[in-house]
Each structure stands twice: as structure tokens, then as C-alpha cells.
Structure 1
């Protein structure tokens, strides 16, 4: 499960974005910065990415709802987990796009902590009462025995460094992506410094090299499982984060091809269907097995293309339904929505039980649980996430 720990538009360089309290970009230009430099010229804001975040979070929600009320397209909804890949690409893109020279590393780390940790802790406390018992019921496998070690690792966002599901999905099951994001934050200042002089060509090469290296690793792991080590999740998902960094470099350097946003959505839809179909019928699709093995890299490319298309349209000043007030608001709440929706869903399942029949009438469950999750995420954003982020970020 995921939000990833999706990146907020609060890091974009203009007011009125994802978090109104965070209009100033907070990304360091590189480690060891001791004296402030003249800030780089403010780049156009890409607020449509806030609205786009909501749809990625909703895609993840639809996947998890299949555990309560399955729809006839159950197999396709399993791809809702790919929303996590979207958030990882977006994180690398936003942090790099909004980077300002002169921001100290400790300031960057403090702001990242303020961004994700307060809401994470509140969601973890709520999740504890749903996913843990002293004596877990045998017929509810999602409920686990209390483990102080697992809970502590979750609090510290270190539980993503193991592939043991009991630990990886420990605490709030969604928070494993925050553990991955914490690793991204740890090395982003250093990658930012190393790539500071790259322009359009360098950014594109960086993107291609990232995908090639990651894809090659997955193929080698498949063919030589006894020789190639299995990396932990933060390392495996770095392909998406680094790809987002490369995209931001190319856009920041002025390369803005005219890519219609509708075409970006069409490419993603076609790509997802191809991945789904090749997974169901690998023998009927050319290179079906290879496609299956490199699906993370393909998803990274698909979502990166969509993010790039949306960002280009915003930098050109084009109109965007993704910047509508309702979608921007939902995008602002999407982090809390991601953290809390599975807890609400499984609390309902514990007391009501799963809906046994597959059918479109289960959409009423989707609507009800989604509305309840949106309400809870709005409350958490207003009471916890937004005010505590403002307080912990410190002076701008």
C-alpha cells in the first residue's frame, strides 16, 4: 500500500500552491552551502500537479477498495498501486524544479521532516487501533500482534529497508512509502549538487541512463537470482525519483515541446492497459515477459511523461481543469487521504465484513468510503498536517 509520501505543491515557487504556508521553495542547491547566493529567478508555478496528485491518490484508493467491495474490473484495479510510482516521480520533479541556491541542508531536512512526519504520526496512532491486537483474530490476517520493534521502526521511517512484509507494512501499512521518501530526501541535496550544471541534453541522458540501469538490474535479477542481490525498497524505487529529477532539469533548462495534456493521459491509459494485458497474456504480447519484469521502469516513463506534459502546459500559461479549486483542495488533502483511507477501509471491513459479490452496485461502497476518507483527510490537513508543518518549518 501506499502515498507514497507524495510531494506537496508547497514546494513550488509561488503562493497559492499546494500548501499556502509554504510558498518559498525549500530545496538545497547542494551540500556544504554556507552562504546564501542570489536566488534563481522564480520559475512558473505548476499548480496543475496538485490536482493531478488527487487522481493518483484516488487510483491507490480504488485498488484498496477491492479488498472490501470488488468491482468487475478487479484485475485492472490492481494497477492502482502504481499511483505510488507517480508520487515518487513527482517528488523528484517538484524538489528539483523548486530548488533555490543557498538553502542549507539542515533547513532542507527540517522542512522535509515538517512536511511528512506530523501527519504520519497521527495516522500511525489511528492505524494502531485497526491493524494491531494483543491477540489477533485468526480470520482477519491484516490484524497483527503488537510488536514494539516494528512500531519503533515505523515511527523512525526505517521499516522500508526490509522486504519482510510484517515489518515493511508495519505500523500504518501506507507508511512504507514514507520510509522510501525519507531515503530520497537524504540524498537529494547531493544529487542536486552533482547535476546542477546539467542542461537539456544532460537531463535527458540522466533520465535514459536511470531507466536503462534499473531495467538492466531487474533483468539480471530474473536471470541470475543466485548471484544478483535483492535491493531494499528505497533503492529499488529510486529509479522513479531520479527520473523525476532528470525531467525537472530538462524543463528547467528551457526544453518545452508542445505535448497536449490529453495525449499524456492517453499514453498513460494505453500503457497501463498494455501492462495489464501483457500480465494476463504474456505469450500474446511481443516481449511480454520483459515488459512484466520492467514494469516499474515502464510506469516511471509513463507517469513521467504525463507530469512533464502537465508541467509544460502550466509553464506556458495554458488553461487547466486540474487547477480548479475543488481539485486543488483535494490535491492539498491527498497526503492525509493517502495515509488514512486504508485505516478507515479496514475498520469498516472488520465490523461489516467484505462484500462477497462482485458487481457494479459496489460503487455505492466506493462513494461512501471515499466521502468518509475525504472528510477525515480534510480534518487531518486542517488540524494537524498544515498547522504543524507551518510551525516546524521555521523562518522562511
Structure 2
């Protein structure tokens, strides 16, 4: 029996928008390490900032499935996704190329690569993320490799949804748990054979587990399931796990445990991030307040987070090119503040002047086409 949505009008989940900001902020700190020598405790956490990308993938599956409408056609869905991500991708790619490419790169600037038109075409088409060669994967705007992954997810979403509709809420949760178990099994396979077939899978396929878990959890929510858990429980557990990975290696007695935790960090965070998203969504549906996740300021930053994510690395490396060296101490902290403010300001400008208006124009154009076709069909004689 096909499941249907009990209530077609679903509320906005502002905490999930706020969480997008914190994930983007974590990625910012991860990249900032290449320019600023952060204080030791901050640096320990910053090196795990790249896992903010995993959070985005889980959240993407959740949000797309939560907002899914039965009568939205596949073509309309694809166009809306294109309108949402491509215009800003194109703009930030054009801004990034002069920073990361040169016809005569300075060997001292290791992040600057020779101009390669073939790679630029891959970046324009958002295909660079299918390569496991780092020079291709992180080509163009280094942050945009994730858009290759997201585009793959978008392509599959309408078809995966057809399968999800066959599931009850409990069934969706069972599938989510099964995907998590398969992720652990995949990690064991990779550890046992680091050069085997599993380790050679392209990034969009390898990261599909995160998107699937997000989709399954959202479908469970659509059928009425809720997680009665404070948001601060998964936040605390995540911090405790990362502290454990960082600290336990210092003691001989706990070193074996630390090695296991380090090897399975991706899988542990898949579970913890899923709990965080579910707890935050449940909190919103209960009408609870949260300054850290759904205050107006944090939600605005969350709305700007896509632009922030795409522009921040370009600004960091542009500054590094101008300064010519890494910074530390008080100078480093000042540069941290300057780059954070500059990245937020640039993100706000990109969101207000490019991302939002261009998406609105493209969606309106597509809506006119759909309405015109509908009018032609309705005018035909029966």
C-alpha cells in the first residue's frame, strides 16, 4: 500500500536552517587552518570541520523529503533544484578561478594551479566530483565538489521517493538503521582492503548513504514519528566523541579505543548528526524556542549559508596570497575575525543580489511555461 502524507501543509523547520549555518561555520574553520595557526584546543576541533559536509548531505535528504509534494513533476523538481544551486555556483566559480589558477603559477603558492580548460568545463557542468583525483575533485572553486554529489542526489530523489512511499514510518526507520549498518560494513571493507573496489567508488556513490538516511528519517517524520530528545543531547555526544578522538590517543591504556573511534568517525557522526536533525525537527514541531538554532539572526545566517560555503575558501586563499604567509597569535585571531565578517558580508550580498532573485526569476519562468502548457491542454476540445 502506498503511503500518503496525512497533512499536505507542513511547517517550516527553522532549526534546520540554523543548523546549516553551524555546519558551514565548521567547514570555514577547517579551511581557515591553512592560513591561521589556531590555538591548540580550537585547532583540534577545526580539523574535524570537514564533517560539516556530511551534515549537509544528511540534511539535504531530510529537507527535500520533508518538503516533497506528490503533484510536483520530476521536470519541475529538477528545474527548481537547478535554479536553487547553479546560478550561485557559476558566479562563485568565476570569482574563484583567478584565485586558484594562473598561466604562470608561483611554486610557493601551492594552492594555485596551471590553467586547465578541460577541468573548467567539468566544473561548469558540476562533474568534477566524480573523480577521485584530488586535483580534479577540488578543481575550480574547491568547495563546489559537493555540488556534484548533490546533483546526483537530486537526480535520484524522485525515484527513491517512489520507494519510500511504500514504507510506513517504522519501515523507514528500519531502512535508515540498515543503511547505517551497511556504512559500517563498508568502512570495515575499506579498512581491510584500502585499495579495493569500495575505496575506488566515486564520491557521489560513496556519500549516498548520508542522503538516504536523511530521506528515510524525513519520511518517518511525515508519517508522524517524533524523537523525544533534547537537541543538546546529540550536540553533547558529538562534542564528547570528537574530544575522545583527540584526547584518548595520549594515554596508552585508551589508545586502542581511540584508534577504533578514529577509524569509524564518519559512521559515528552519521548517527549523531541524524539524531541532531531529528531532535531539532521535533523541537520545532513542538514549538520550542532555541536561541542557538532558530533565533532570527541564526536563521538568517542559515539562509546565507550556501553562499557562505561557496565563497569563504576563495576569500581565505585570496588573503593568504596577499599576505604571503600564515599568521598566528593575536594577529591570527584578528584575521580570523576579519575573514569571518568578510565571508558573512559577501554571503549576504550574494544571497540578496544573486541567489534569491535569480532563483525567483528562473522559477517564475518555469511556472509560466507549465501554466501555458496546461492552458493549451485545457483548451483542447474533449
TM over 0.5: yes
Is contact 1:160-1:234 (8 Å) kept? yes
Which secondary structure state, in structure 2, belongs to the residue aligned with residue 395 of structure 1? helix
Is contact 2:6-2:223 (8 Å) kept? no
Alpha-carbon displacement from aligned partner over 1:216-243 (angstroms, at most 9, x marks no partner): 1121122134543421111111111111
Would you tell me which structure has more helix in proportion to its own residues? 2
Please name the residue that 2:69 is paired with: 100
Equivalent residues in 2 for 1:371-390, closer than 5 Å: 371-390=341-360
Please name the residue that 1:181 is paired with: 150
Offset at residue 259 of structure 1 (A): 0.7
Q: Distance in 1 between matches of 2:231 and 2:26?
A: 19
Is contact 2:59-2:214 (8 Å) kept? yes
Q: Are residues 86 and 226 of structure 1, via their aligned partners in 2, closer, same or farther at CA, if it must alter by over 3 Å? A: closer
Q: Distance in 1 between matches of 2:62 and 2:247?
A: 29
Aligned length: 361
Is contact 2:305-2:347 (8 Å) kept? yes
Is contact 1:200-1:251 (8 Å) kept? yes
Which secondary structure state, in structure 2, belongs to the residue aligned with residue 256 of structure 1? coil
Q: Are residues 181 and 256 of structure 1, via their aligned partners in 2, closer, same or farther at CA, if it must alter by over 3 Å? A: same
Offset at residue 382 of structure 1 (A): 1.1
Q: Does 1:240 align with 2:207?
A: no
Is contact 2:119-2:128 (8 Å) kept? yes
Offset at residue 273 of structure 1 (A): 2.0
Offset at residue 276 of structure 1 (A): 3.3
Match of 1:216 among 185, 196, 218: 185
Offset at residue 262 of structure 1 (A): 1.9
Match of 1:348 among 301, 319, 330: 319
Is contact 2:249-2:255 (8 Å) kept? no
Alpha-carbon displacement from aligned partner over 1:356-379 (angstroms, at most 9, x marks no partner): 44x365222111111111111111
Q: Does 1:305 align with 2:272?
A: no
Is contact 1:210-1:239 (8 Å) kept? yes
Offset at residue 44 of structure 1 (A): 2.5
Is contact 1:40-1:100 (8 Å) kept? no
Please name the residue that 1:392 is paired with: 362
Q: Greater shift after overlay, 109-118 or 291-300? A: 291-300
Please name the residue that 2:20 is paired with: 53
Q: Does 1:337 align with 2:308?
A: yes
Structure 1: state its 5+ residue gaps: 1-28, 31-36
Please name the residue that 1:137 is paired with: 106
Which secondary structure state, in structure 1, belongs to the residue aligned with residue 47 of structure 2? helix
Please name the residue that 1:70 is paired with: 37
Please name the residue that 2:339 is paired with: 369
Which secondary structure state, in structure 1, belongs to the residue aligned with residue 304 of structure 2? helix
Q: Does 1:152 align with 2:121?
A: yes
Q: Greater shift after overlay, 361-370 or 75-84? A: 361-370
Equivalent residues in 2 for 1:251-330, closer than 5 Å: 251-277=221-247, 284-285=254-255, 287-321=257-291, 322-330=293-301
Q: Greater shift after overlay, 240-249 or 165-174? A: 240-249
Which secondary structure state, in structure 2, belongs to the residue aligned with residue 266 of structure 1? helix
Which secondary structure state, in structure 2, belongs to the residue aligned with residue 258 of structure 1? coil
TM-score (norm 1): 0.86
Deviant stretches of 4+, over 4 Å = 37-40, 278-283
Match of 1:200 among 136, 148, 169: 169
Q: Distance in 1 between matches of 2:34 and 2:121?
A: 27
Is contact 2:227-2:278 (8 Å) kept? no
Q: Distance in 2 between matches of 1:211 and 1:299?
A: 11
Q: Distance in 2 between matches of 1:93 and 1:269?
A: 23
Structure 2: state its 5+ residue gaps: 369-382
Alpha-carbon displacement from aligned partner over 1:328-367 (angstroms, at most 9, x marks no partner): 111111100110011011111001023344x365222111
Q: Does 1:88 align with 2:57?
A: yes
Please name the residue that 2:130 is paired with: 161
Q: Are residues 360 and 52 of structure 1, via their aligned partners in 2, closer, same or farther at CA, if it must alter by over 3 Å? A: farther
